[in-house]
């Protein structure tokens, strides 16, 4: 009979689990919303490109990095990074580039298929989602052909030795237009007068060599467009550098412009043609790199101005630049304390060592300059923190620090001190825990490393010392046994939906539910059990309140080691036997992880649990006998004296 009941329960549990799994599988972990400005339905010419955008929103409590499955003619500009649901950055913009020349001849109907990444960055085909049919890609190839090319500016003049950027705009048969500067072929009618570049990154950049006029031509297939470049032999007379004598904050930039005055009375922007220099690179640097010529960066504070110079040949111009202290800004941390599990899953399945993240946030309106961190002591061997520093954090910007635990715990909290040149100082704490680590007033015996990686693990600790070595389970106001009382919903067969004992059972030992009492999972939820016991003895017992030191659960309602949220553990929080086997206990428990684990033997002797014995709840409760050989769980009468070791969650 017992075997049949067990099989029925097992089958019921399996069916329930499968139903839950199916329901979960049908719920997308991320969803797609098309951007109306870049819709998924678009027509692209065979030589053109188009952009499609979706807003992807995380519907799960885990972080995701997402990439699309390969699809002809479709490319993703960058991976989609999603923070957990409900947090900032829980959505991203998925930007897709559609390349006409790479599309299949029939176009595209469907997708994109967006997947969780594998460790190597490739898409994991077992965890993918795509937009609804109405919002899927619908890409057709248009037959538009290039009709004309317009080169701008149509007429330009430069002094020999300087440059002029030309652009090519293509006009197509469907009236669309597109910048083709980087895809056309450029040429000059006379390379001795002017040359023009076909090098990637500088396509269309003409260089004046000597005086005269050259025709600049852009060609794509049989279509071409032209412009004219007049190169004069005027000589450079002077260079003006603007703005004049500016000040910038440390860590910020300033763009300088060089304007050349020539002998023929013309003026020309020669910012990209001059050579830039700083009189003191330790105070400010200035760039000569293409695309950022003349961009100065404040490095350190100086009470006097340095000189920024623009030089071409024998002619130069300069101005001053003062670097001042950056305005103060405020750093905040996403958490004040980060607690992690060691990575020791080979010895204990729950100790998975999930890397966890701290966000350093610049909440001010000025850049945070040179933000660095230090540790009060080294992380345990095998643990690491990255990156090595935050550097400059822009206003309203964030620096993400990732702590990756190894197999060794911290001995004490490690202080992470974070500060910048113009910021306050932050001091979040780091703890890496294993079983028996001393943390928040007790020995760690339970760890939950499945919490979001933007916060700490959770778990449970047992008090460092006994709260009593000999005390009864239930007491009257005189400190002696009260004859027994059934407490609502804390027996070993009680659940949150079916409390026991209750108003009708067991016969002869029923219970009354008093205000504040809950329906408890009696053998696994000691916090709930303790609450119900405390409510009765505090408010409803004869001559209540009963002195907390008179009964087992009462001792756990007193402050211990600076914490006031202790409770008498339920029987399954204490060990196994009644609660599963040593190899597969119902819960992470004190016997397994403070006695058996690595032969710690931190507990021994007999201790009350908060779980009543379901057959005689009025007079009986469970106790745990801690022993290095495996421990024992059994019931006894509430008037017998046993020890108390309180626990709490963190």
371 and 394 together in one domain: yes
In the structure, what pLDDT confidence band is assigned to residue 18 with cuts at 50, 70 and 90?
Answer: very low
In a domain, 459, yes or no: no
124 and 240 together in one domain: no
What is the mean predicted confidence (pLDDT) over 465-471? 98
Burial 404-439 (b: 16+ CB within 10 A, else e): bbbbbbbeebbebebbbbbbeebebbbbbbbbbbeb
* CATH code of 317's domain: 2.60.40.1080
489 and 591 together in one domain: yes
Return mean pLDDT, the chain: 92
Whether the per-residue pLDDT at 216 is higher than 80: the answer is yes
225 and 250 together in one domain: no
Last-in-domain residue among 232, 267, 295: 232
What is the mean predicted confidence (pLDDT) over 209-233? 96
Question: Which of 9-23, 155-169, 494-508 shows the lowest mean pLDDT across its residues?
Answer: 9-23
Whether the per-residue pLDDT at 12 is higher than 90: the answer is no
Pairwise CA distance, residues 387 & 400, whole Å: 8
Q: Is 562 left (phi over 0), alpha (psi -120 to 50) or beta?
A: left
Phi, psi of 196 (to 5 degrees): -140, 140
What is the mean predicted confidence (pLDDT) over 564-578? 98
% the chain with pLDDT above 90:
82
What is the mean predicted confidence (pLDDT) over 391-409? 95
Question: Which of 36-40, 44-48, 70-74, 245-249 shows the lowest mean pLDDT across its residues?
Answer: 44-48
Whether the per-residue pLDDT at 21 is higher than 50: the answer is no
Is the preceding omega at residue 227 within 30 degrees of 0, hence cis? no
In the structure, what pLDDT confidence band is assigned to residue 5 with cuts at 50, 70 and 90?
Answer: very low
Q: Report the pLDDT value the prediction gives residue 201, as an integer from 0 to 100.
A: 84
509 and 624 together in one domain: yes
Specify the higher pLDDT residue, 142 or 331: 331
Cβ(461)–Cβ(593) under 8 Å? no
407 and 537 together in one domain: no
% the chain with pLDDT above 70:
96
Give the list of residues 6+ apart from residue 155 with CB closer than 8 angstroms, or none: 227, 228, 230
Tell me how crowded residue 501 is: count the other CB atoms within 10 A of its CB: 27
Residues 49-68: pLDDT tens digits? 889 999 999 998 888 999 99
Closest CA to 494 of 621, 645, 634: 621
Give me the number of domains the chain comprises. Answer: 5
In the structure, what pLDDT confidence band is assigned to residue 26 with cuts at 50, 70 and 90?
Answer: low
* CATH code of 417's domain: 2.60.40.10
Q: Report the pLDDT value the prediction gives residue 15, as an integer from 0 to 100.
A: 38
Cβ(650)–Cβ(448) under 8 Å? no
Residues 92-139: pLDDT tens digits? 999 999 998 889 988 999 999 999 988 667 888 888 999 999 999 999
- Using alpha carbons only, how large is the chain's radius of gyration in Å? 37
Cβ(555)–Cβ(471) under 8 Å? yes
Residues 497-551: pLDDT tens digits? 999 999 999 999 999 999 999 999 999 999 999 999 999 999 999 999 999 999 9
DSSP secondary structure letter of residue 444: E
Model pTM above 0.85: no
* Full residue range of the structural domain in which residue 300 is found: 236-324
Pairwise CA distance, residues 628 & 646, whole Å: 20
In a domain, 349, yes or no: yes
Question: Which of 64-78, 332-346, 408-422, 435-449 shows the lowest mean pLDDT across its residues?
Answer: 64-78
Last-in-domain residue among 101, 116, 142: 142
In a domain, 11, yes or no: no
507 and 578 together in one domain: yes
In a domain, 66, yes or no: yes
Residues 253-263: pLDDT tens digits? 999 999 999 99
394 and 525 together in one domain: no
Q: Beta 605-612 vs 414-419: how paired, if at all?
A: unpaired
Report the Cα 126 to chain-centroid distance in Å: 22
């Amino acid at each position: 009979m017992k075997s049949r009941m067990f099989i029925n329960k097992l089958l019921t549990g399996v069916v329930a689990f499968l139903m839950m799994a199916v329901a979960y599988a049908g719920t997308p972990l991320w969803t797609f919303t098309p951007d109306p400005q870049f819709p998924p339905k678009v027509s692209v010419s065979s030589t053109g490109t188009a952009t499609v955008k979706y807003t992807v929103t995380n519907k799960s409590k885990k972080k995701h990095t997402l990439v699309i499955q390969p699809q002809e003619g479709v490319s993703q500009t960058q991976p989609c990074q999603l923070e957990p649901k409900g947090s900032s950055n829980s959505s991203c913009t998925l930007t897709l580039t559609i390349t006409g020349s790479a599309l299949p001849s029939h176009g595209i109907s469907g997708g994109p298929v967006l997947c969780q990444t594998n460790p190597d960055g490739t898409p994991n085909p077992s965890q993918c989602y795509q937009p609804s049919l109405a919002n899927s890609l619908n890409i057709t190839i248009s037959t538009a052909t290039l009709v004309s090319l317009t080169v701008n500016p149509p007429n330009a003049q430069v002094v020999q030795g300087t440059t002029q950027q030309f652009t090519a705009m293509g006009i197509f048969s469907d009236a669309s237009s597109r910048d083709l500067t980087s895809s056309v072929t450029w040429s000059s009618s006379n390379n001795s007068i002017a040359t023009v570049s076909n090098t990637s990154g500088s396509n269309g950049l003409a260089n004046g060599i000597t005086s005269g006029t050259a025709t600049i031509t852009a060609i794509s297939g049989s279509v071409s467009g032209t412009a004219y470049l007049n190169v004069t032999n005027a000589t450079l007379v002077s260079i003006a550098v603007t703005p004049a004598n500016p000040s910038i904050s440390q860590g910020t930039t300033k763009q300088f412009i060089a304007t050349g005055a020539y002998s023929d009375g013309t003026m020309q922007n020669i910012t990209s043609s001059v050579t830039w220099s700083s009189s003191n690179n330790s105070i400010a640097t200035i760039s000569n790199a293409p695309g950022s010529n003349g961009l100065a960066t404040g490095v350190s504070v100086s009470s006097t101005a340095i000189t920024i110079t623009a030089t071409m040949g024998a002619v130069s111009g300069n101005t001053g630049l003062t670097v001042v202290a950056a305005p103060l800004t405020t750093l905040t941390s996403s958490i004040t304390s980060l607690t992690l599990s060691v990575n020791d899953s080979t010895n204990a399945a729950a100790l998975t060592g999930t890397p966890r993240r701290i966000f350093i946030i610049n909440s001010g309106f000025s850049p945070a300059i040179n933000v660095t961190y230090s540790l009060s002591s080294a992380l345990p061997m095998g643990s690491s923190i990255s990156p090595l520093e935050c550097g400059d954090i822009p206003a309203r910007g964030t620096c993400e620090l990732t702590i990756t635990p190894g197999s060794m715990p911290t001995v004490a909290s490690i202080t992470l001190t974070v500060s910048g040149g113009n910021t306050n100082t932050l001091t979040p704490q780091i703890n890496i825990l294993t079983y028996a680590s001393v943390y928040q007033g007790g020995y760690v015996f339970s760890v939950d490393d499945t919490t979001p990686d933007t916060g700490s693990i959770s778990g449970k600790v047992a008090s460092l010392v006994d709260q009593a070595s000999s005390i009864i389970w239930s007491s009257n106001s005189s400190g002696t046994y009260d004859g027994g009382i059934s407490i609502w919903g804390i027996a070993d067969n009680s659940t949150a939906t079916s409390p026991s004992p209750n108003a009708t059972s067991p016969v002869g030992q029923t219970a009354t539910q008093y205000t504040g009492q809950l329906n408890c999972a009696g053998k696994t939820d000691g916090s709930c059990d303790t609450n119900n016991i405390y409510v009765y003895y505090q408010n409803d017992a004869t001559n209540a309140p009963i002195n907390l030191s008179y009964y087992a659960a009462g001792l756990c309602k007193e402050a211990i080691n600076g914490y006031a949220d202790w409770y008498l553990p339920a029987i399954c929080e204490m060990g196994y036997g009644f609660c599963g086997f040593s190899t597969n206990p119902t819960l992470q428990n004190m016997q397994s992880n403070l006695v058996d684990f690595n032969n710690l033997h931190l507990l021994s002797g007999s201790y009350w649990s908060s779980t009543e014995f379901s057959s005689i709840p009025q007079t009986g409760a469970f106790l745990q006998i801690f022993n290095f050989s495996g421990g024992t769980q059994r019931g006894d009468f509430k008037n017998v004296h046993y020890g108390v070791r309180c626990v709490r969650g963190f």
